[in-house]
Amino acid sequence: MNVEVKTPEQQRAEILAKIPDFRLMDDTYMSAFFNGRKDLIQFILRIIMNDEKLVVTNDKTQKVLKNLQGRSITLDVDTLLNGDREADVEVQQESSGAKPKRARFHSSMMDSNSLLPGEDFEKLRETYVIFITSHDYFGKGLPVYTINRHIEELDMMPFDDKEHIIYVNGENNTDTPLGKLMHDFKCNDPKDMYYRNLAERADHLKNTEGGREEMCKIMEEISGESVRQEKIKTAVRMIADGSLTMEQIAKFTELPIETIKALASQLASITA
């Protein structure tokens, strides 16, 4: 069986060919679009969360979070709000990617990666997992669905754990700030976008040489990290199987032996 191995030039040509059709509903493009642009992240979050005073103090696109079992997630856009709240913004084109338990897992991973050893649980940040869905996931015609915990036996009194999940309905086409934002998320032509700041960024990435080069570089980095995460998953399965030495696993996965030893140490601490 012949396996086609694409050269870096071929991979770059494929990316360039796809750029005109990209929309903000495409997670890789969205990550590139908001990379290093706190102003634009702040702009969309102020609309989604209906909070004109919201301030983005730090941001990271394609942030990888891992647990000790080797299961990892990659956050499309992870950001700090006003210094003490954290928001994970995800675009979901398929309903399977927006299932409630996935939102729960994202929230739990944000928590598990936010405390240092010995820190008090009260230092956990207030968190928001925001799913921007291509379709109306709950089918009730609302522009936004906000999920918070409550205590049923106490007249639905809020259970104030500071964890929030928000679903944004991408089918919302109303003449409102949020409806216009959802329109722009589904546009592939900057000229058709409502918001000038988003249109200017899209035009730069799609229609200038420097922007296309930026897109290629970011997407190549994202692709490389995705490949690395798949190698780590394979290594974890090999270590758990126990039939290969760490040197053999390092050879087959093309990961550094130090990485294999660290994974093995983590698995050993779990099973001890």
Q: Which two tokens stand for residue 129?
A: 């997992």
Per-residue pLDDT of 164-177, as tens digits, reads 999 999 999 999 99
Per-residue pLDDT of 224-233, as tens digits, reads 656 676 788 7
Query: d(Cα 242, Cα 239) in Å, to the nearest integer?
Result: 5
Does the CA dihedral 238-239-245-249 come out positive or negative? positive
In the prediction, which pLDDT does 83 show? 80
Q: Are 183 and 173 in contact, with CB atoms under 8 Å apart?
A: yes
What residues contact residue 39 under an 8 Å CB cut-off, 6+ apart? 56, 197
Which one-letter DSSP state was computed for residue 135? S
Which one-letter DSSP state was computed for residue 166? E
Per-residue pLDDT of 200-223, as tens digits, reads 999 999 999 998 888 888 777 766
Q: Mind giving me the DSSP string for 78-109?
A: EEEETTTEEEEEEEESSGGGG-HHHHHHHHHH
Q: Are 170 and 185 in contact, with CB atoms under 8 Å apart?
A: yes
Is residue 74 pLDDT above 70, yes or no?
no
Single-letter code of the amino acid located at 49: M
Helix axes 196-207, 38-48, angle to 10 degrees: 140
